[in-house]
Amino acid sequence: MDISRSVLIDLEKQAWPALKNGDADFYQNYLSENAVAISSSGIMERDELIKQAKEKRSPVQGYRLENPRVIIMTKDAAIVTSRATVVMKQDGKDINISTYSTTVYARINGEWRAVLLQQTPIR
């Protein structure tokens, strides 16, 4: 299969700073038309994710991606799993939240797009 694992890991590494920096253009291209994100905050669809980035409403201040793993399902579908430590602003203070992160990717018209983003807090 002609899949570059490093391309998918690079996309993961670009997504966090794009959210922090309000890069809605990145998310327009990164997310599939039917993308959803699931976290302890609930479920957000593509348009809400892009709006959050555009309005810089994300509490994300920084992140660290650990042990990313790419699981190839088909030539046009893959999953990236990792542990992420995210620095977030909450009540005016920086807090660290560790999560297990999963992103499901589909290759659509030759480009990798995130279809499902899921974060599970580590307790």
Strand partners, 112: 107
Lowest mean pLDDT among 4-18, 69-83, 88-102: 88-102
Number of CB atoms found within 10 A of residue 98's CB: 15
Name 84's Cβ contacts closer than 8 Å, sequence gap at least 6: 16, 63, 64, 65, 66, 98, 99, 100, 101, 119
Fold of 5-121: Nuclear Transport Factor 2; Chain: A, (3.10.450)
Delimit the domains of the chain by residue range: 5-121
pLDDT digits (tens, 9 = 90+) for 34-81: 999 998 889 999 999 899 888 876 777 778 899 999 999 999 999 999
